[in-house]
Amino acid sequence: MKSCCAYSVGVLSILILIAGIAMVLAQVFQTLLYNRIKSEVVLENGTEAFAVWQDPPPPVYMQFYFFNLTNPEEVLSGERPAVIELGPYTYREYRPMKGVNFMDNDTRVAAVNPKTYIFEPNMSRGSEDDIIRTVNIPAMAVMEKYRDSILGHLISDLMKSTNEGLFGTWKVGELLWGYEDPLLKDLHAFNHSLDPNFGLFYKMNGTDDGEYVFYTGKQNYQDFARVDLWRGQSSLDWWTTDQCNMINGTNGASFHPIITKTEKLYMFSSDLCRSIYATFESELSVRGVPAYRFVPPSKVFANTTVNPDNAGFCVGGRCLSSGLLNVSGCKQGAPIIMSSPHFYQADEKFVDDIFGMRPVKEEHETAIDINPLTGLVVQAAKRLQVNVFIEKLTAFSQTGNVRTLVYPVMYLNESVLIDEDSAKTLQGVVTQANVVINIPFIIIGLGILIGVVFIVLICRQERSTPDERQPLLSS
Ligand SMILES: *[C@@H]1O[C@H](CO)[C@@H](O)[C@H](O)[C@H]1NC(C)=O
Ligand SMILES: *[C@@H]1O[C@H](CO)[C@@H](O)[C@H](O)[C@H]1NC(C)=O
Ligand SMILES: *[C@@H]1O[C@H](CO)[C@@H](O)[C@H](O)[C@H]1NC(C)=O
Ligand SMILES: *[C@@H]1O[C@H](CO)[C@@H](O)[C@H](O)[C@H]1NC(C)=O
Ligand SMILES: *[C@@H]1O[C@H](CO)[C@@H](O)[C@H](O)[C@H]1NC(C)=O
Ligand SMILES: *[C@@H]1O[C@H](CO)[C@@H](O)[C@H](O)[C@H]1NC(C)=O
Ligand SMILES: *[C@@H]1O[C@H](CO)[C@@H](O)[C@H](O)[C@H]1NC(C)=O
Ligand SMILES: *[C@@H]1O[C@H](CO)[C@@H](O)[C@H](O)[C@H]1NC(C)=O
């Protein structure tokens, strides 16, 4: 009777163990959980993911740092520029999706994404009226354009009459949001299509950059919020026809759920006129939420010897060295070159060329931290430097004896950090998920526990059996 009971316990233990192990092997609970998440991370009126995509709750900040030139005369006579970093000049960035329109049975959604920038004095060091001495970008662009033209000397005289040189001073607000340039104004009289205003973010406040069509992720969760069309063109066509375009972009940064460490994440950056990718770097915790950090590998900016994929960025047979991207073609021919701030990860020579460059990984890299389970961005910092290609042009006395330089004007840090409330919600989701995924292991633990009970029962029986026999023998 007792041994029968003990053996039932043993059988139960083995059944539970088998069930537990089967669940681990079949990944039943994981599949259930993943399916649940995949069905929730969809751009659909009513889902949390849609609300976040439409109007991201955590504040996005755009911070600008300018380089103030201290020795313009010496630079014109061929010496190294010495610059002092100023800033941050911080703006809160609002980027809601507007004109949201679902199409094709809700598998795609069209929208525009205007960005508005509001100055944040409390998060800034200095004001928009601070004076910055830097390179005269419109003048350098015009001089490059007419370097070999018979009009060169005429334009040089025009610049002398308005007292414009290679360097000048402007307010932070002017450099960012636009000012009327005397040279451009003069040229505008001959060519009305030329805008007399110039600014690094001119006309970019409150305006959108055209209509996007996104996948909702309803058909395939990996397509969640992925850009299908921009301005009516397919992303794949742009890549082949126009280097100023994106491939597999996700405007802003929302990624599909269930991200693995081996994945390449594509991000579109209109400043770079292309999409770049990031690869897994490390695991970390952001406000208590587990995250994977993805960073663009140095290969992304490598020269063509190291990464032949970057051949698209050699223009007219001229390739730039590692760490630099010539985006002149996307900036109306202005000789603009992008890099990481302080030429982080670029060729050593660019750092050496400018007195005041101190690249630091933690401060100057672009990084994006994603909660791998939900694909939500918990922290991100996009960091880019705007440089101007400067060289001596014989037709223009304004360029003096200047060295050939990649001259840094400013860099930006566009960053976001998950808000406390969203972090708490996400912590809850992650905890629940961990419990669900561990159910099979809890079952296996239970099986082992019952197995131990079985062994104890058997041992006690073995010991008690002789005692039971003794009375039988004595009688
Ligand atoms: C979402 O639903 C709400 C009410 O149900 C409606 O007012 C809103 O227009 C819908 N949004 C879209 C983009 O369809
Ligand atoms: C939308 O769904 C309906 C019925 O399920 C189908 O007949 C139609 O072809 C679908 N349309 C598109 C554009 O997928
Ligand atoms: C951008 O536009 C908004 C609203 O039109 C305005 O409040 C804000 O001051 C503008 N920002 C800049 C930098 O001009
Ligand atoms: C930048 O340099 C110029 C010229 O030396 C100077 O007038 C200006 O005050 C400096 N800007 C700041 C914010 O220190
Ligand atoms: C873009 O995505 C498509 C489909 O997801 C894929 O086939 C293609 O290789 C991707 N392109 C790049 C450049 O990664
Ligand atoms: C590309 O970079 C590598 C390593 O930095 C260097 O050895 C090589 O000379 C560079 N090639 C060109 C064409 O600049
Ligand atoms: C950058 O590209 C433009 C054409 O888009 C070209 O004219 C210029 O020479 C290039 N600059 C450098 C420094 O390679
Ligand atoms: C942005 O990056 C700069 C350095 O590149 C750093 O000083 C600043 O604190 C960063 N801003 C935020 C909000 O993380």
Contacts of residue 266, defined as CB under 8 A and 6 or more positions apart, other chains included, come to 247, 248, 249, 250, 275, 276, 277
Whether 247 lines ligand 5, by a CB cut-off of 6 Å, is: yes
Look at residue 370 and tell me if it is in a domain.
yes
Residue 95, both tokens: 């980027």
Answer yes or no: do 300 and 446 share one domain. Answer: no
Q: What is the extent of the structural domain holding 455?
A: 2-35+430-461
Compare 113 and 119 and report the one with higher pLDDT.
119
Same domain membership, residue 434 and residue 382: no
238 and 375 together in one domain: yes
Is residue 262 domain-shared with residue 376, that is, in the same domain? yes
Residue 390 maps to a domain: yes
Residue range 121-149: mean pLDDT, rounded: 95
Q: What SS3 class is residue 394? A: coil
Residue 464 to residue 276: CA distance in whole angstroms = 74
More confident residue, 211 or 251: 211
Q: What is the DSSP string of 180-231?
A: E-HHHHHHHHH-TTS-SEE-TTTT-SS-----EEEE-SSS-GGGTT-EEEET
Atom of ligand 5 nearest to the CA of 248: 1
Q: What was the pLDDT predicted at 241?
A: 27
Asked if 411 and 436 sit in the same domain, the reply is no
Q: How far is the CA of 248 from the centre of ligand 5 (A)?
A: 6
Structure tokens at 460: 């006690």
The answer to whether position 97 is within a domain reads yes
In a domain, 50, yes or no: no
Is residue 82's pLDDT more than 90? yes
Cα 180-182-184 angle, rounded to 5 deg: 80
Average of per-residue pLDDT across 84-112:
93
Say whether both 92 and 147 belong to one domain.
yes
**Ligand 2 and 104: CB distance under 6 A:** yes
Candidate from 298, 301, 322, 406 with most ligand 6 atoms within 8 A of CB, to mutate:
322
What's the gap in Å between 68 CA and the centre of ligand 4?
7
Kindly give the distance from the C-alpha atom of residue 119 to the centroid of ligand 3, in angstroms, as a whole number: 8
Domains held by the chain: number: 2
Considering the domain architecture, whether residues 233 and 259 belong to the same structural domain is answered as yes
Residue 464 has pLDDT above 90, yes or no: no
Which ligand is nearest the CA of 168, by number? 4
Nearest atom in ligand 2 to 105's CA: 1
Identify whether 125 is part of a domain.
yes
Beta strands in 252-376 (DSSP E): 264-269, 274-286, 289-295, 325-326, 336-339, 367-370
- Whether 376 is in a domain gets the answer yes
Same domain, 21 and 81: no
Mean pLDDT of 338-367: 93
For residue 321, report the distance from its CA to the centre of ligand 3, in Å. Answer: 37
Tell me which of 111-115, 316-320, 458-462 is least confident: 316-320
Ligand 5 nearest atom to the CA of residue 266, by list position: 14
Q: Identify which ligand lies nearest to the alpha carbon of 43.
A: 1
Report, as an integer, the average pLDDT of 437-445.
88
Both 263 and 393 in one domain: the answer is yes
Q: Is residue 131 part of a domain?
A: yes
Domain identity same for 141 and 77: yes
Question: Is residue 466 in some structural domain?
Answer: no
Strands 336-339 and 325-326: antiparallel
The ligand 6 site (C-beta within 6 Å) comprises 303, 305-306, 319, 321-322
How much is the pTM?
Answer: 0.84
Pair (274, 306) in one structural domain: yes
- Kindly state whether residues 12 and 150 are assigned to the same domain: no
Q: Is the CB of 174 under 6 A from ligand 4?
A: no
* Pocket lining: 248 vs ligand 5, CB cutoff 6 Å: yes
